[in-house]
Every structure is written in C-alpha cells, then in structure tokens.
C-alpha cells in the first residue's frame, strides 16, 4: 500500500453534508485528482454497444453513483471493517468510450484501466454492459498475471459469436479464455439459469474450464455451500470478480437488459460475496444496470451495495 502517514481521505460524511447533496462521486469518495495516491479506483464505463436485447446500460455508471449517495460507508457491520480508514478509494470518473465502434471502445477502456490500475492499484468498474469485462481483464492480467474468474450472472457469457460479432456481452469470457487471461479450471459461474440456445452450450462452457453453480443449485447447497465451492475453486490465485446485476431475480433488479426469472435474492448475493473475504481480489466490475427499466432505484441501489461490499473485501485483504 502507498505510504500515507496522514491516513486516507475519507468520503464526505452524511452527518456533515446530507447524503442527497454534495459530491456526485461514488459514495462521495474523493475524485482521483484530489489525492496524491490511492489503493482502489472506481471507474465508470458507460458502454452498451455489445448488448443483445434491451440497451441502456451506458447510463449505469451515472445511476449507480446517484444511488450510492444512500450508502452509509463508514463501517460495514457484517464484514466488520471500516474500509475508508484502511484504503484510499477514489472515483476516477468515466472512460470516454466510442458509442459506435466496439473495438475502439475496448481499446480505450483497457488503456484507462491500465493507467488507473498501474503500480499494483486495483480498479472496480461500473458498467456498462458485460462487454467491458474483457478489456478490464486484459488490464488486470497485465498487472497481476492470469486470474481466476468469479462470475455472478444469469447467463454463461461464453458463446462464440452473436450475429457473427466476436465480442459482445455474451462472448466475453470465451474471448478471455482464448487470450489466456484466465487460469484454466479455476473459474466459476454463480447464478446461471434459464433455457439455452442448445444443450451443447453447457458442454462448451465446461470445455473452457468453468464450473457452474446454477441458481437452482443454491436450493441444495445454500449460500454456505456456494461460498465453499467458490473459495475452493479459486484457491490462492488472484481473482477478478464480475457481477452482472441480472444474477438477481427481476424482483430485486428489474433495471437490466436481459432479465431472467428465478434468480438470487439480494440477500443471497450479498451473503455469498461477504463470504469471500479470504480470496485474493485484484479487480472487479458491476455491470448491466439499465436505469430506464428500473423503478425507485431498486437495481441501482443493489449495484451500489455490491460495489461497496467489493471495496470492503479489498480493505480486509
């Protein structure tokens, strides 16, 4: 960690400035140019040109930041940590991505993530659609080496192409595997559900070295069993944790592009995440928040809470 004898610059306190006022950064942490150094950066990635059903996740970073005003980020009771006393977190703003060229956008995202994450710093991205996970992984692997992927989602995202497009939000983890970004046989999907295009999709996913915990498996395993399966799968490897908000049932996250019935509850997702305090988390993202389909910030509040929990896991490392 960088040496800061005076301690981290904390977010603006809700007891000093009302939470509905003040800075628009995530959880009102300082912007990146307001501190000399930092440990973790929040990076907005307003890109959704890789989506296959309902567009609108380009507005996700704005919505999640707004919802994060609701947080009381001083102390996390379940994880027993006060993250902003331990690590310096900053908001690095948004990547100025092209809305027209996927390849150009991915290059821009990777470049920004590499710059912000240089020197062993860690980056948490707010999407955007799940396509952004590929350039984020490229940047993380350049800094930390190949990673184990922990992937919370309703969908596998390991299809080969979609309408002949090789890089979309449904193909990113096949591309990541092909590029050698993932440590083989150490990655895992959690929350997968719904019908598939064909039976062979699951076989192909296994061939790529993934284990899958379907949403229905949680009925048998419970959250404790899911936590054990994830921790055993990733061992002591560096971990990239990617959360597609559609892992939640539409009752808990209606504001997303490809909702699927039968998903996790918010409490189940948070319980599993909070059980991963022993993993070596080097980066992550929360994606697919599409606020135009949301109601009363339900989805954005869930995403902001997940992002805060990831910060707390990093603070405990």
- Specify if 6 maps to a domain: no
Average pLDDT over residues 211-234: 98
> Using one digit for the tens of pLDDT, what is the confidence trace for 103-115?
999 999 999 999 9
Question: CA 317 to CA 313: how far, in whole Å?
Answer: 6
Tell whether the torsion through CA atoms of 161, 164, 167 and 168 is positive or negative: negative
Within-domain flag for 210:
yes
Specify whether the CB–CB gap between 12 and 34 falls below 8 A: no
Contact present, 52 and 162 (Cβ < 8 Å): yes
CB 266 within 8 A of CB 299: no
Task: Report residue 248: phi and psi, to 5°.
Answer: -80, 150
The yes-or-no verdict on residue 234 having pLDDT over 50 is yes
**175, 168, 307, 143: which is closest to 241 by C-alpha?**
307
Query: Is 3 within a domain?
Result: no
* Nearest one of 250, 195, 191 to 218, comparing CA atoms: 191
For residue 40, what are the domain limits?
A: 26-316
Q: Which residues contact 222 (CB under 8 A, 6 or more apart)?
A: none
Average pLDDT of the chain to the nearest whole number: 95
Output the six-digit token pair for 215: 């949403």
**Quick one: average pLDDT of 54-60?**
98
Task: Dump pLDDT digits (tens) for 256-273.
Answer: 999 999 999 999 999 999
Residue 4 lies in a domain: no
**Contacting residues for 157 by C-beta, under 8 A, at least 6 apart:** 130, 133, 151, 169, 170, 171, 172, 173, 174, 244
pLDDT given at position 11? 83
Residue 136 corresponds to which tokens in the numbers above? 């984020």
Distance between CA atoms of residues 209 and 125, nearest Å? 25
pLDDT tens for each residue of 86-138? 999 999 999 999 999 999 999 999 999 999 999 999 999 999 999 999 999 99
Other CB atoms within 10 A of residue 203 CB: 9
User: Domains in the chain: how many in total?
Assistant: 1
Of residues 150 and 316, more confidently modeled: 150
Helices (H) and strands (E) in the chain, counts: 9, 8
CATH number of the domain enclosing 252: 3.40.800.10
Please, which pLDDT band fits residue 5 given cuts at 50, 70 and 90? low
Q: State both tokens at 259.
A: 């909702």
Report residue 100 as tokens.
Answer: 């027209």
Residue 63 lies in a domain: yes
User: Is there a domain that residue 17 lies in?
Assistant: no
């Amino acid at each position: 960690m960088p040496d800061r004898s005076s301690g981290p610059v904390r977010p603006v306190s809700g007891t000093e400035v009302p939470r509905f006022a003040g800075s628009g950064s995530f959880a009102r942490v300082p912007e990146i140019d307001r501190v000399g150094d930092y440990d973790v950066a929040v990076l907005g990635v307003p890109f959704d040109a890789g989506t296959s059903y309902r567009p609108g996740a380009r507005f996700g970073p704005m919505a999640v930041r707004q919802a994060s005003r609701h947080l009381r980020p001083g102390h996390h009771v379940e994880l027993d940590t006060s993250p902003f006393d331990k690590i310096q977190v900053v908001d690095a703003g948004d990547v100025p991505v092209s809305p027209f060229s996927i390849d150009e956008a991915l290059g821009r995202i990777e470049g920004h993530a590499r710059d912000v994450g240089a020197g062993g710093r860690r980056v948490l991205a707010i999407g955007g659609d799940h396509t952004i996970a590929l350039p984020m992984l490229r940047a993380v692997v350049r800094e930390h080496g190949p990673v184990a992927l922990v992937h919370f989602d309703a969908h596998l995202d390991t299809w080969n192409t979609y309408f002949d497009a090789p890089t979309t939000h449904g193909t990113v983890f096949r591309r990541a595997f092909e590029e050698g970004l993932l440590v083989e046989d150490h990655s895992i999907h959690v929350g997968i559900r719904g019908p598939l295009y064909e039976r062979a999709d699951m076989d192909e996913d296994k061939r790529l070295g993934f284990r899958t915990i379907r949403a229905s498996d949680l009925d048998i395993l419970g959250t404790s069993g899911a936590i054990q399966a994830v921790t055993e799968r990733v061992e002591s490897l560096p971990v990239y944790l990617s959360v597609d908000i559609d892992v939640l049932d539409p009752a808990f996250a209606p504001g997303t592009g490809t909702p699927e019935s039968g998903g996790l509850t918010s409490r189940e997702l948070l319980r599993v995440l909070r059980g991963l305090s022993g993993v070596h988390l080097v980066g992550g993202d929360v994606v697919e928040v599409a606020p135009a389909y949301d109601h009363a910030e339900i989805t954005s509040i869930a995403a902001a809470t997940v992002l805060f929990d990831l910060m707390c896991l990093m603070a405990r490392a």
